[in-house]
Structure 1
């Protein structure tokens, strides 16, 4: 069945974003796709057409984002599904990373997402329908990865703001889902994509081991297929009552269960102190 839904996808020139727009176009959805280098996207997909609109966007520039969404609505006449997928992995311990490095990661992963939400919501609110997917990470649910604290904290922020967003927009008929992808076989962990600290501290042996494991061992051996991940997102977009939280990929259930076990165990162990505050 032909569909006329319009998707707006950020970070679309590679990885899960690129896999998603390819699947969407195969299924006759209309797609506006953003990237920092529009020529790379055009070389992968093609020029602008009735079903595809490539856009060069700086997500940290609110006016630029506002213009991109306006162009999308102008080109297709509507906006139905927003996917905040753009982001990058900043490696480094909390002590190692400079203020500049930490803020840069938040600027893209969190504030870039907020810019899109802020400028997409007037259209979705007016038409009283739509679905916003915010792509977090399993590292946005479990942060016990040494050397990934800043990245994980950006993804925790994405999860938190999505929970609030879902409550804020439900009366308008608009849905919000935070997606926690596990390890997908993309270039996210490649040395060209993941950023390492400008000034590392040798004493952080656990962080260096984690860094090397991700860059040299996990990279290229991830168990999940981005094409199948894209299929799952598309299927979820068609649900009448989608979840606010969506684990995506093999292995994510292990992180879920381990964290529940840890928090529950700590709560039980320290319950006497927890309830010692009652007057």
Structure 2
């Protein structure tokens, strides 16, 4: 029997491609967006296999309503994809407290709201799959101007690893998805916010920002349809990976981070491990 999927942030980008691929493959899908009209225009009206849901992931009541309506329509939820989120560019000094917290509210606390509301159902049925869509920027953070965004995705990596250990006894599997650059609208103004008050001294940040907006945007190497296929195949695996890096660029960056960490471990091992109490 085909699984029931709940996908957040599904009116555009990777979430939209995933929903389209799922429906074309015969799955039952509930999809959320902040604006119902956007979702209906992108995917379609409510049907036997699809329900569009206007949901604010930062609002617990809104998330609870979406979960409740999904179960009422399909009877259960098998797979959850925490995809809702947005990019934020800007040096740490430039971004206000409000701008930074808003990014965390959506990218981190929004996903946690979904997890809290769906887990009672998954625990009761003794099964479930949770995909938390992070980013390669949640594994390697050396991108000038993306510190807060990286922090939100590093947070997702951290709580997802703990979540995987917590829910394993209930038959629930967790996969952290870390995409590289995929050809979606993620780098457009609708999905990538910039500081309201820029500081002229940060020329390196402006350069990275301009490259992302003008050179990478529309030229990303990753095919989102192939990414959607990967999601579906992983969801069908009996023992899915905890970490899923998507794209050759994501693999290359992850491997460079692992090598850099290993180098630091080896270089300072003698000093850093000589820290225990010495007993007579």
TM-score range, shorter chain: over 0.9
Q: Give the secondary structure class of the aligned counterpart of 2:52.
A: strand
Q: Give the secondary structure class of the aligned counterpart of 2:265.
A: helix
Task: Please say if residues 80 and 129 of structure 2, whose CA atoms lie closer than 8 Å, have aligned partners that are also in contact.
Answer: yes
Q: Give the secondary structure class of the aligned counterpart of 2:20.
A: helix
User: Structure 1: how far apart are the matches of 2:135 and 2:221?
Assistant: 15
**Residue of structure 2 equivalent to 1:76:** 74
2:174 counterpart of 1:176: yes
The farther-off stretch of 40-49 and 143-152 is 40-49
Which of residues 118, 121, 124 is equivalent to 2:119? 121
Shift of 1:5: 1.2
Q: Give the secondary structure class of the aligned counterpart of 2:193.
A: coil
Runs of 4+ in 1 over 4 A off after TM superposition: none
User: Structure 1: how far apart are the matches of 2:210 and 2:138?
Assistant: 21
Could you list the per-position Cα deviations for residues 170-216 of structure 1 after superposition, in whole angstroms to 9, with x for gaps in the alignment? 10001000000000000000123200111111111211111111111
**Residue of structure 1 equivalent to 2:143:** 145
Could you list the per-position Cα deviations for residues 210-247 of structure 1 after superposition, in whole angstroms to 9, with x for gaps in the alignment? 11111111111100111110000000000000011100
Shift of 1:275: 1.6
TM-score (norm 1): 0.98
Q: How many equivalent pairs are there?
A: 277
User: Structure 2: how far apart are the matches of 1:246 and 1:49?
Assistant: 32
Which of residues 197, 213, 216 is equivalent to 2:214? 216
Correspondence 1:167-206 to 2 at 5 A: 167-206=165-204
**Residue of structure 2 equivalent to 1:112:** 110
2:158 counterpart of 1:160: yes
TM-score (norm 2): 0.97
**Residue of structure 2 equivalent to 1:27:** 25
Could you list the per-position Cα deviations for residues 137-193 of structure 1 after superposition, in whole angstroms to 9, with x for gaps in the alignment? 000000000000000000000111110010000100010000000000000001232
Could you list the per-position Cα deviations for residues 52-80 of structure 1 after superposition, in whole angstroms to 9, with x for gaps in the alignment? 00000011100110111010000110110
Shift of 1:268: 1.4
